[in-house]
Amino acid sequence: MPIPSPTQLTTFSSLPLSGDSSSPSPPETVPDHQTNQDTYLFATIKSNLTITKPTLILTDSASQDFALVFDPPSAVVSSGPYTPDAVADKFKQLGLKKGNTVIIKNARRTTKKAAGREEGQGFVVLRSLGRLATEPEGGLRGKGGDGDREGKEGEAELLGVVPSALFLTRVMMDILRQRDESLPGDREEKMCDGKFDRCVTPRGKEEGGDGSERGLKRCQGCVEVWYCSKECQTRRWIAHKSECKTIKALRGIWPRPEGVE
């Protein structure tokens, strides 16, 4: 499953209403021939508002707040008594906490009806935890790949949760998508990430006149970034730490293309 393009990203106010048999409403920039694409809603968690049902308050890229409701409650707490504390413990275990970003595929808006008319902005309902339901304790990522659990066709699905705010999540996703689109046909450019911070040998300490890239080592956390030395890695860690966790979570949902090391 490739990383979605910008035309597949949506906001809460652009979501189609639940029960509408038409295709999901894409952003206005999507050409007519692409209107049947899957859509992806990215939103940062603001708070846990669980009372009668497991509920999170989220903020999308348009700064629109909305509620994400898990219905039935057994989708979150499948055993033992249902209480807000039990839900809070499960949310914490799965990384569904303030400041993290959730990614929902093919989300729809559900609204309350009063006197035959739609009332309020609405909210998003999920019937399950999606891929998070199969994650080990503390799982912040979906498992990725075509062989993993997929929602029924057209059904909203929680793909995963990323341990960073929406802006960084989107930036890292764009970088990974552009990298994937250039591979495996083009040779991956490898350069020390320390190039942003006083690195004098960005292609490795053993760089020769032929422009070889010997001496570069991958970050073992995200395996997407390279360093020419331990010194450069240490110097860049403060900046890379949040990026590293974000990339790792995104790659759990959208792995590198097959055939790429």
Q: Three-state SS for 236?
A: helix
- What are the tens digits of pLDDT across the range 189-242? 788 988 877 788 888 876 555 555 567 889 999 999 999 988 899 999 998 999
Query: In the beta sheet, which residues pair with residue 56?
Result: 48, 68
Q: Helix and strand tally (H, E) in the chain?
A: 3, 10
Q: Which residue has the higher pLDDT, 98 or 208?
A: 98
- What are the tens digits of pLDDT across the range 149-177? 445 555 789 999 999 999 999 999 999 99
What pLDDT, on a 0 to 100 scale, did the predictor assign at position 205? 72
User: Where residue 23 falls among pLDDT bands split at 50, 70, 90?
Assistant: very low
Sort strands 65-70 and 157-162 into parallel, antiparallel or unpaired: unpaired
What pLDDT, on a 0 to 100 scale, did the predictor assign at position 138? 43
Q: Is the pLDDT of residue 73 over 60?
A: yes
Q: Would you list the domain boundaries of the chain?
A: 6-163, 186-253
What is the C-alpha to C-alpha distance for residues 247 and 162, in angstroms, rounded to an integer? 9
- Tokens 């020390």 label which residue? 192
What pLDDT, on a 0 to 100 scale, did the predictor assign at position 131? 85
**H-assigned helices in 21-165:** 84-93
The model's pTM:
0.81
* Sign of torsion over alpha carbons 150, 155, 160, 166: positive
Token pair listed for 116: 């035959």
- Tokens 């499948």 label which residue? 78
Q: Three-state SS for 230?
A: helix
Average pLDDT, rounded, for the chain:
81
User: Where residue 144 falls among pLDDT bands split at 50, 70, 90?
Assistant: very low
